Structure 1
Amino acid sequence: MKKKIKDFIACFSLSSIIVLGPSFTQFANFNFFLNFEYLRLNIVLTILIILSVSYFFYLLKTKTLFSKNKFIKYSTYAVFLISFAFFLRAILKVVVNNMKPFIFIFFTITALVLIVFSIVFFIKKPKMLLNFITTFLIILFPFSSFLIYKASVGFFSYKQEKVQVFKNNKPKVIWIIFDEWDQFLSFEKRPNNVDLKEFDKLKQKAFSASRAFQPGSNTIVSIPAYTTGKKIISSQVLGFNNLLLNFPDGKASFWHKESNIFSKLHSMEINSAAAGLYPYEKLFNKYCTEKYSYFNKKNLFSYMPFVFYQMIDFYFTAPLTKLTFQKVKLFKSLKSFFESSFCSNQYFGIKENAFKIMKNRDINFCFIHFSIPHPPGIYSKKDKKITKKISSYSENLILMDKTLREIKLELQKSNIWDESILIFTSDHWLRKEFWDNTLSKLNKEEMDLCSQRKEALVPLIIKMPHQKEAISYDKPFNAISLHNLVLDIYNDKVSNEKDLVSWFDNLDDSLKKSYENITY
């Protein structure tokens, strides 16, 4: 009995390191984006996979390793050799992350020598080698358990709060953020194949600003800046619910512990809701009557194929890239399919949740964060629909315009469009260097347009209730000021387009410039 337990513990250590090794350095980051239900299901599913693989290894070791059938025996040898190669790759990832190619080659050669030595030793003294490997893996059991613990952070730490719904007659404000929406490529110099007729039509009866500076260079800075109303230099994910925000004065604080637009509105008895990419269900659990993040239990299984691709990339593509000193495009079409499928599901999931909160008349303030036109491109202009093939930034702009049309139709059906205040903007401009590292490369025209930009600007269009005329505003200001604008709307300081213009004219000087941490 003791031998069976030892064998299974050894197999468990081997399988857990192989399964969890590829994403060891991403656990904190990944768990941060998951809502509670998704996290629990993901952990349970991961542990089931580890146990299944462990049992598979256990059967190989106890039933087929010394089989009299040569085919079965040598097949078992091959499986274990590949598994130990994966094991060594995972250990290298944990111990020496982001190593240079020549260091990787050194470790690879060393690992191959060890494997060859093990084969020779196994032929001569198989039981002695097996006992040694079993003991070694048992010693690693605490480490493999630690990996599972790291992957499970947050499993018990969260409880869904039921937030009181207040009765009031306050206006409905819908703040919609389109991720990576660029002012220059949308309204200054568009790519030739882009027609944003819905946004052009909207601007004819709305306030539009042409010099709204982005609050930060990345989503993980901009969204916290919008919600807190504070300038943020940088941010760092430190765990399940912990995004550390670094401020200009050298101080730092966790996002969920900062006073934010939802907590402020809640204290004013204003009902708020949020939907989008980030884990709003965790971050603003105490203040939003409705909150949705894409990473929920409904979408768990749509993400799993992408996880399996990441394992393929980790164990095959990445090593070949380092060993050959060139980018190996193994399974590129597979990655393209998984990535576009996942991002398409993400878009539809966010849109579904957005419609829920926008049409709910009990909710006063809606904060919606769409995943487009951020890469990868998921829309085909030719087919006029979501595609499983990677498309372009320009085509994602067209999808964004199509989304606006759907939003307008849904709100008009519910008699909400005319009477509501709608704010359309972005978290940051188009980052040329970011798209260079994705499957959706910018085309030559898009690259040329990016090089013509002088300032990091995001679009800003605000439709006030029953507004009939266009207002073009060309004075510079930072889009982070939208935080205070929403609060002043609910403090009855801004109720029409004239109030809106006056409000921007009287902004503090500190809000009329780009932040120095942003580079062009």
Structure 2
Amino acid sequence: MRGLRDALVALSLANLCFFKVWAAYFYSYHRPYFRQDAAPGLDYLAILLDVILLAAVFWGGAQLARRSERAVVLAGMRLVFLMTLVVVASVIGRGLRPTRGPFATEPAPWSWTAVLVAAMAGLAALLICARWNRPLGRAGAHLVMVLSPFVVVTGAQAVWLALPSPGAETQARSAPPALPARDPAAPRVLWLVFDGLDQRLAFDERPAGLALPEFDRLRSESLVASRALPVSTATLVSLPSLLTGRIITYCDPRGPDELMIYTEGSAAAVPWSRQPTVFTRARELDVASGLAGWFHPYCRLFGGQLAACAQWPFRFTGEPRSLPVRMRDAAAMQLWSLPFADQFFFVDPLRLELFPTRSFRDEHRRKQEGVLARARAMAADPALGLVFVHLPAPHGPGIYDRRTGRLGAPADPKEWYLDNLALADRALGELRRALEQAGLEERTAIVVTADHSWGASASFDGKRDPRIPLLVHLPGQTQALRADAELRITVLHDLVLAVLRGELKKPDEVARWLKERGKEAKRQGSRE
């Protein structure tokens, strides 16, 4: 009977140890919406097997301690059990605390005060557990037993999510019928969104030793809005806002092919894939659109609106993974969930050297290369009047060394973001050269912005600035023009359509247009 009770406690404790992993796969970036790999259901099986293996370790340790019948060994077993509970409670507590926004991806930096307080709390917990070893051990075992039904709950939820969703699209939607050929002189727009591009660090307070020649060149011949603000700090929310031109307040993924969005002032969610977007509006103008992007499953959402589409969802592995590899990845994620681990491993959370796993850095590099390759082809395709590109760089992890000009681990992990900024700069140059080589630069407007600034910039230099770049370069423009009014980037939806309609042909027209939109936004805000 005692052995069975120990087994149940061990299984429940192991399941609690994987709390953050379960949360990630049930509620965050490992849900089907963010995935594009073979047999995603194997990941849930891998986590279940990891839980069982860890439970076997706990149970085996308990049995060995009991068989020794030595008081010091039994006391040590109870102390390890109690300290494991303390760590688990810390992990769960951090997992339940509010984040800066839905699906925040970057950890809030710890201060040395927080580290000292945490260390003192840990020491106090150790002393208390050592002093009242036996009664606390019994109480802890009872608590874990009470929580054991969650083993069934998580297991059932894993099986449910592993099953294919009825009627869900796991592949790209079919492209729409071809549009009539446009006038060869008709305006085009290349709309570039660099994920996490920070206005302050890229331009206003650029660190010494960081060269961004392509961004500087574009700024010298573009309208520059220095006070552009994102809708959200989360990519999940910002991109729907950009593409619909509406302020989105919250998003909820539903299956592999749908995102429910909540617009400002509305309590009801609507499916993103069924809302008018810049692509449907462009099609009404007989403008064919192309999209190359990461993070969102764009082709599953909007393939029916696009003449060309390429997607690299957030969890794009790019290669088949065996069950043992998936188990190792889940175990690495579990280690990353330990207190303070995210501060040390954020640059590359799955590269912990203890596990010969597929590197998160390699996965991110493949996304950057894939998106850029398809974006170059679309930018050079005269049949596409609107090309929207959502590039991973400079979002982490670090995948570039600006000193060598090569993709790979950054030479200085503390400067990975600066290296990725240089990579984003290189990508901008490649896309502009693709336009020039195709002879399309004289009729293609270039719009550059970001979905949000760098959320962890305070960990780099102690500063945080929400502003993002906004550059609008019209064909033939050779001089810079400033727009200093505060803007929300949702205005780009209408601006892009105005350019495609031929309503904005000169930089001063764009400046006046943005100024009027800014006034309208202020009037609406004052009425509310």
TM-score with structure 2 setting the length: 0.68
1:370 matched residue in structure 2: 391
Deviation of the 1:152 alpha carbon: 4.5
CA–CA distance in structure 1, aligned partners of residues 86 and 504 of structure 2: 62
1:321 matched residue in structure 2: none
Q: Counterpart of 2:318 in structure 1: which amino acid?
A: K
Q: Equivalent residue of 2:318, what SS? A: helix
CA–CA distance in structure 1, aligned partners of residues 305 and 80 of structure 2: 51
Q: 1:216 aligns with which of 222, 228, 231?
A: 231
Q: 1:207 aligns with which of 219, 222, 233?
A: 222
**1:162 correspondence with 2:181:** no
**Counterpart contact for 1:372–1:396, Cα < 8 Å:** yes
Query: For residues 89 and 428 of structure 1, do their structure 2 counterparts lie closer, same or farther at Cα, with a shift above 3 Å needed?
Result: closer
**1:353 correspondence with 2:371:** yes
**Counterpart contact for 1:33–1:295, Cα < 8 Å:** no
CA–CA distance in structure 2, aligned partners of residues 79 and 239 of structure 1: 44
Query: For residues 281 and 49 of structure 1, do their structure 2 counterparts lie closer, same or farther at Cα, with a shift above 3 Å needed?
Result: same
2:430 matched residue in structure 1: 406
CA–CA distance in structure 2, aligned partners of residues 157 and 10 of structure 1: 40
Matches within 5 A, 1:243-254: 243-247=260-264, 249-254=265-270
Output one character per residue of 1:453-483: Cα deviation in whole Å (capped at 9) or x when no partner.
8xx6432223334x15224133525232110
**1:510 correspondence with 2:520:** yes
Q: Equivalent residue of 1:284, what SS? A: helix
Query: For residues 500 and 343 of structure 1, do their structure 2 counterparts lie closer, same or farther at Cα, with a shift above 3 Å needed?
Result: farther
Deviation of the 1:298 alpha carbon: 1.0
Q: Which moved more, 1:135-144 or 1:45-54?
A: 135-144
**Counterpart contact for 2:282–2:289, Cα < 8 Å:** yes
1:28 matched residue in structure 2: 27
Deviation of the 1:139 alpha carbon: 5.1
**Counterpart contact for 1:272–1:363, Cα < 8 Å:** yes
2:246 matched residue in structure 1: 230
**Counterpart contact for 2:86–2:125, Cα < 8 Å:** no
**Counterpart contact for 2:232–2:238, Cα < 8 Å:** yes
Deviation of the 1:397 alpha carbon: 2.8
**Counterpart contact for 1:210–1:473, Cα < 8 Å:** yes
Q: Counterpart of 2:479 in structure 1: which amino acid?
A: A
CA–CA distance in structure 2, aligned partners of residues 459 and 96 of structure 1: 32
**1:435 correspondence with 2:433:** no
CA–CA distance in structure 2, aligned partners of residues 103 and 151 of structure 1: 38
Percent of aligned pairs with the same amino acid: 16
1:290 matched residue in structure 2: 309
Query: For residues 118 and 134 of structure 1, do their structure 2 counterparts lie closer, same or farther at Cα, with a shift above 3 Å needed?
Result: same
2:501 matched residue in structure 1: 491
CA–CA distance in structure 1, aligned partners of residues 474 and 5 of structure 2: 69
Q: How many pairs align?
A: 472
Query: For residues 195 and 255 of structure 1, do their structure 2 counterparts lie closer, same or farther at Cα, with a shift above 3 Å needed?
Result: farther
CA–CA distance in structure 2, aligned partners of residues 331 and 21 of structure 1: 12
**Counterpart contact for 1:28–1:239, Cα < 8 Å:** no
Matches within 5 A, 1:266-305: 266-269=283-286, 270-288=288-306, 289-292=308-311, 293-298=313-318
CA–CA distance in structure 2, aligned partners of residues 510 and 490 of structure 1: 22
CA–CA distance in structure 2, aligned partners of residues 254 and 109 of structure 1: 53
Matches within 5 A, 1:70-85: none
Query: For residues 503 and 51 of structure 1, do their structure 2 counterparts lie closer, same or farther at Cα, with a shift above 3 Å needed?
Result: same
Matches within 5 A, 1:315-330: 315=338, 318=339
Deviation of the 1:33 alpha carbon: 7.8
CA–CA distance in structure 2, aligned partners of residues 114 and 35 of structure 1: 46
Q: Counterpart of 1:29 in structure 2: which amino acid?
A: S
**Counterpart contact for 1:426–1:458, Cα < 8 Å:** yes
**Counterpart contact for 1:215–1:225, Cα < 8 Å:** no
Which structure 1 residue ranges, 5 or more long, are not aligned?
A: 121-128, 319-327
CA–CA distance in structure 2, aligned partners of residues 354 and 304 of structure 1: 31
Q: Equivalent residue of 2:427, what SS? A: helix
Output one character per residue of 1:118-170: Cα deviation in whole Å (capped at 9) or x when no partner.
999xxxxxxxx9xx999989855532324425765975562132122523445
Q: Counterpart of 2:155 in structure 1: which amino acid?
A: S
Query: For residues 207 and 87 of structure 1, do their structure 2 counterparts lie closer, same or farther at Cα, with a shift above 3 Å needed?
Result: same
CA–CA distance in structure 2, aligned partners of residues 294 and 25 of structure 1: 13
CA–CA distance in structure 2, aligned partners of residues 150 and 108 of structure 1: 39
**Counterpart contact for 1:35–1:279, Cα < 8 Å:** yes
Matches within 5 A, 1:122-141: 141=151
Matches within 5 A, 1:145-160: 145-148=155-158, 152=162, 155-156=165-166, 158-159=168-169, 160=171
2:403 matched residue in structure 1: 382
**Counterpart contact for 1:421–1:464, Cα < 8 Å:** yes
Q: Equivalent residue of 2:468, what SS? A: strand
2:414 matched residue in structure 1: 391
Query: For residues 197 and 113 of structure 1, do their structure 2 counterparts lie closer, same or farther at Cα, with a shift above 3 Å needed?
Result: same
**Counterpart contact for 1:33–1:279, Cα < 8 Å:** no
CA–CA distance in structure 2, aligned partners of residues 383 and 348 of structure 1: 19
CA RMSD of aligned residues (A): 5.2
Matches within 5 A, 1:22-61: 22-24=21-23, 27-31=26-30, 34-38=33-37, 41-51=39-49, 54=52
Which structure 2 residue ranges, 5 or more long, are not aligned?
A: 98-116, 352-358
Query: For residues 300 and 498 of structure 1, do their structure 2 counterparts lie closer, same or farther at Cα, with a shift above 3 Å needed?
Result: farther
Query: For residues 18 and 395 of structure 1, do their structure 2 counterparts lie closer, same or farther at Cα, with a shift above 3 Å needed?
Result: closer
Q: 2:448 aligns with which of 424, 430, 434?
A: 424
Deviation of the 1:405 alpha carbon: 1.9
CA–CA distance in structure 1, aligned partners of residues 24 and 259 of structure 2: 16
Output one character per residue of 1:366-419: Cα deviation in whole Å (capped at 9) or x when no partner.
222223334555544434434345233444332322222222334444444444
Query: For residues 497 and 179 of structure 1, do their structure 2 counterparts lie closer, same or farther at Cα, with a shift above 3 Å needed?
Result: same
TM-score with structure 1 setting the length: 0.69
1:181 matched residue in structure 2: 197
Query: For residues 112 and 28 of structure 1, do their structure 2 counterparts lie closer, same or farther at Cα, with a shift above 3 Å needed?
Result: farther
Output one character per residue of 1:393-447: Cα deviation in whole Å (capped at 9) or x when no partner.
444332322222222334444444444322111233455xx333x5xx227xxx4
